[in-house]
């Protein structure tokens, strides 16, 4: 049976609703919601083999300019450091373009967290790109040559790490990025471990970019 355009519109609206709800739950502390976020992003965006995205079904994906909020100057510029005194800090050459690294605490006791860029709205770029330029843009790389695009990150979580499927194998580059100590931040001679992982924070920022991009599209009437 051939589906009607109205059904595709309803599916699109449903995916956006799911995405918004999962983003709210993630922001309220449920980190596992990132897996549902990855599935919604996959359903909205992926066109490969037999997969046709919700946006392509509506013939809208190539009409939309997607918001690229990433920083280009590398990870060092993305720090928030609160009350850190008399410390020697050394950072490896690792680029994480969609996250902020927050260090907070006092009296020598510090907490280390990754935050999506929208945590500091003024730090986000205001560039808009055609879909493929945005989707295939590198948003993580390290000194070993390991790198990930938005597409790599979304599909690694959705198709390998428990979104749609929990695979026996995991993308090595995604696994490296996911590690809590992947930044290799050295404070006073020791590698510190962050309390959350940058891969999940990056996907949350991607969801933010998608939702903001859709608001500027002709599809806004369906949202």
pLDDT value for 75: 47
Q: Above pLDDT 90, what percent of the chain?
A: 53
pLDDT value for 209: 97
Query: How many residues in the chain?
Result: 223
Structural domains counted in the chain: 1
- Give the structural domain span for 131: 5-222
- Tell me: pLDDT of 73 over 70: no
Q: Could you give the C-alpha distances from 175 to 47, 145, 165, 198, in angstroms and in order?
A: 24, 14, 16, 11
Question: pLDDT tens for residues 198-223?
Answer: 999 999 999 999 999 999 887 766 56
- Tell me: pLDDT of 116 over 90: yes
- For β-strands 79-81 and 99-106, DSSP reports them as parallel
List Cβ neighbours of 205 (8 Å cut-off, separation of 6 or more). Answer: 69, 98, 99, 116, 117, 118
Q: Could you give the C-alpha distances from 62 to 18, 56, 155, 187, 194, in angstroms and in order?
A: 23, 8, 20, 45, 38
- Tell me: pLDDT of 76 over 80: no
pLDDT band at 88 (very low <50, low <70, confident <90, very high): confident
pLDDT band at 128 (very low <50, low <70, confident <90, very high): very high
Residues 47, 41: Cα–Cα separation, whole Å: 12
CB atoms within 10 A of CB 186: 14
């Amino acid at each position: 049976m051939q589906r009607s355009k109205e059904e595709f519109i309803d599916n699109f609206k449903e995916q956006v609703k799911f995405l918004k709800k999962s983003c709210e739950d993630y922001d309220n502390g449920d980190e596992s919601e990132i897996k549902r976020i990855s599935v919604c992003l996959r359903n909205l965006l992926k066109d490969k083999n037999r997969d046709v995205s919700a946006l392509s079904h509506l013939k809208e994906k190539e009409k939309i300019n997607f918001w690229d909020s990433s920083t280009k100057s590398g990870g060092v510029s993305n720090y928030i450091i609160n009350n850190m005194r008399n410390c020697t800090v050394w950072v490896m050459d690792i680029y994480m373009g969609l996250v902020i690294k927050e260090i907070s605490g006092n009296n020598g006791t510090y907490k280390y967290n990754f935050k999506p860029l929208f945590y500091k709205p003024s730090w986000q770029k205001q560039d808009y790109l055609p879909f493929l330029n945005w989707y295939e843009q590198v948003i993580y790389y390290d000194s070993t040559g390991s790198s990930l695009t938005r597409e790599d990150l979304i599909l690694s979580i959705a198709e390998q790490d428990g979104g749609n499927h929990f695979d026996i194998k995991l993308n090595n580059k995604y696994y490296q990025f996911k590690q809590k100590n992947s930044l290799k931040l050295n404070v006073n001679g020791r590698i510190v471990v962050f309390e959350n992982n940058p891969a999940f924070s990056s996907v949350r920022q991607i969801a933010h970019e998608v939702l903001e991009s859709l608001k500027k599209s002709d599809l806004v009437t369906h949202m």
